A and B are shown apart, each in its own frame.
Chain A
């Protein structure tokens, strides 16, 4: 959805900070998410993602700076929350209420719901709404909150690690819902530490580390971040280089013995597979680095062991 530069940001934080007694949870965070964007909010556990979101919802009061939802200060929840729907990381429901009652309550008190779409979502997420919340698993409670949020026509959806309890089928359904929401022009603010999920649905990402926003980047740059580590074992020694140097996306090529080599790969794997086809490969292992490793890498953390790869990506 095209956004005019004068549009009020769906979510805007300016110099936002939060301290809990001694620890600094969020430090001088400034961010603007334009309307209609699907924005990924990445970071390892404890980076301050949830704290930022809870400040944006007015549940926590900032120690410094401020945050606005469509130009309305976050602490004015009576007005600000008419523009948003939220899915918490850990959904707690009143145990005696049924799923249907929870959905009805969120609809009755919330900013308005498309009931036909909600009925469709209940089917798609395979939720049995006539059970008490007490009997729901983590994933089912999450489904209730997701259905309620996606069924609203609120212009901003704030989703805090919404798929941590979902199985792969439901996760696929979730991605479809995000795409549908984006198609309707809704803004989605998705906090996650699952790189694949963020990559699949987000146009732009912000990366948070130790309370600071260290990077805000578009998806193409994010793709460059995503590197897999490939180990190859050969049946007999190959000629020097083995035709792998200079292959698209390959970096950090290392021979640990004449028969074993490792490398990192960014981008599509086809070129490197073509190069490997000429060799006598007996074992091939492709491992995706964890987000944490990528972070350590990318920001040149002294604890990281992949300094050279980091330099490669940075170059």
Chain B
């Protein structure tokens, strides 16, 4: 080869100049890949549920007129639980009241969890080290992911609006409602992104983001119930949804506030990301620990260590919610005795016997199965994650049978679930006692413990998933509770056949403490849970370990 021909290397160097375009597009493509499955699911629910309720409203239209509706708006308890009821004579207004908060919570929490998983989760796993070895810098990579997540949230909002328009509601209200739902998703995503920049662990970041969102929900509930604190609405995406009042006042200012909140949170997240080290965060817990007296020498000790914090977090959220339920017990029942018409309608919508304190708390205790079911599913999903990350490899090189470890884990999760339900019962009783409602501690405890069989089915489903479909432990584990609740409400309101309704675990649950315990139903649920758990344990024992 001859020397002195300089142009060749120069040309090749020019060819290798890193171009931000394709690299950036690759990052965006990666983000799209990791978000699309969840986004499709959430979009389907956010578009389908309100549309379904709006169509259903047509059939109830005549019954929903008159003085009962006017009285609804005056009652603090109703305002607190379902949001401010406005324009209930309008299919859209009724839909916003009936589904708005639930859909907003679903979309917001999903966006927050997806964001922390895709940003801090990937970074914690070390996969962003590879990504950031290329031309892309941390703030740019974060922004690319965030853009995809904000886009996905916007898509959810568009789908919600489209569903309502197709269901025949007013276009302005539908678009506003869709924008607010999408905006709530964006707030969730931006909160998740900021928390993921501040905290160095995905779990802590997800907890912070979801905690702030749910605090927003409680703030809205307080603002609805206590007029003097009405300004709290402006601090919460759920409060802004109420202030905007789609299909009634159709106010746009709250939407602008929501957009400003998203902009501020995104700017804060990007600013923090530009100033921190990769793999670290300003609110990082110190790595060095004083050698303490705490010794960790047993498997139960290990389970207690990594289940304790989640139990405290979930317990605080559940207790706060149910304390509020207890505090509202008397206002609620007073209102219902004065408005028997509403009690009838509530019964039709799946809230039977709201008329007595016991009936009222019993119907809300049923809801408790959803968060506690999600807790057990998330803990089994954490075991699946431990396996993939290789954290179980050392443990299983000890004389520890797989069934022994999993049984130890599940015992810890079950104890956690019992503690969570106990906390909910205690909080309800304390709240109810504070306002002088007629609810004994025993009745409250019986009511919360009554949902444990549904939680057991969730645990069984999660363990069965761990054996057969370890990547889908969380959705399959939550399905009996969240899917079952949704199925029951839909079956009741749309008069679906009995066997469809019977597929829901909630169909086999009595409204304790208003009714006596449904013993055959309870035994049946526990039997299903036992079969699923035993099958899961057997499958887990025999399969190859991943990681």
Contacts and interface: CB of A to CB of B under 8 A. Distances in A.
Given A59-B393, A90-B390, A100 B291 contact: yes
A95 interface: yes
Nearest to A79: B399
Interface string B364-392: 00000000000000000000001001110
Interface stretch (B5-13, B296-304, B312-320, B523-531): B296-304
A59 B401 CA distance: 10
Interface stretch (B82-90, B282-290, B506-514): B282-290
Contacts of B33: none
A305 B52 CA distance: 72
B401 A77 contact: yes
B390 A88 contact: yes
B306 interface: yes
A64 to B, nearest CB: 14
B297 A81 contact: no
B288 A88 contact: no
Nearest to A20: B544
Contacts of B299: 109
Contacts of B397: 57, 81, 84-86, 88, 158
Contacts of A134: 200-201, 287
B14 interface: no
A97 interface: yes
B130 interface: no
Contacts of A81: 397-400
A78 B288 CA distance: 35
Nearest to A77: B401
Given A96-B306, A131-B288, A108 B298 contact: yes
B289 A78 contact: no
Interface string A90-120: 1111111110110011111111000000000
Interface in A216-261: none
Contacts of A108: 296-298, 301
Contact of B287 (A59, A84, A94, A135): A135
Contacts of B127: none
Interface residues of A, number: 45
B215 to A, nearest CB: 25
Contacts of A84: 397
Contacts of B389: 92
Interface in B292-350: 294-299, 301-302, 305-306
A109 B544 contact: no
Contact of A130 (B290, B386, B544): B290
B394 A145 contact: yes
A93 B288 contact: no
Contacts of A158: 397
A94 B307 CA distance: 13
A219 B397 CA distance: 29
B399 A78 contact: yes
Contacts of A60: 544-545
A82 interface: yes
Nearest to B290: A130
B542 interface: yes
A98 B544 CA distance: 29
Interface in B170-214: 200-201
B302 A105 contact: yes
Given A60-B545, A92-B391, A82 B297 contact: no
B17 to A, nearest CB: 33
B310 to A, nearest CB: 12
A95 B201 contact: yes
Contacts of B496: none
Interface of B: 200-201, 285, 287-291, 294-299, 301-302, 305-306, 386, 389-391, 393-402, 404, 542-545, 547
Q: Which 3 A-B pairs have the closest CB atoms?
A: A108-B297, A135-B287, A86-B397
18 contacts: A59-B545, A77-B400, A78-B399, A79-B399, A81-B400, A86-B393, A92-B393, A92-B547, A93-B391, A96-B306, A108-B301, A110-B399, A129-B291, A130-B288, A131-B288, A135-B288, A148-B394, A158-B397
Interface of A: 54, 57-61, 77-82, 84-86, 88, 90-98, 100-101, 104-111, 128-132, 134-135, 145, 148, 158
